[in-house]
Structure 1
Amino acid sequence: QGAVFLVLPSWLCHIFGNAKDASSDEEAIVADLMNRFDSYEDFERSLINEMAQVNIFPNPATDILNLDVQNVISDEVLNIRLMDGMGRVALESTISPNKENITLDISNLAPGSYVMTIQSEFRNRTNSVIITR
Structure 2
Amino acid sequence: MVEIISFLKVLEHERLSERLVALRRQLGRAATDGTGPVASPTLVAAAAALLADTYRLISREPGARTLPRLDPRQAVTHRQLATMLRDADLKLDLFKYAHRDHDNDYGDEWLTIEGIEAFREDRKTYPRF
**Structure with the larger RCO, 1 or 2 (CA within 8 Å, 6+ apart):** 2
Q: Under a length normalisation based on structure 2, what TM-score does the superposition of the two structures give?
A: 0.27
Q: Under a length normalisation based on structure 1, what TM-score does the superposition of the two structures give?
A: 0.27
Pick the structure with more strand per residue. Answer: 1
Pick the structure with more helix per residue. Answer: 2
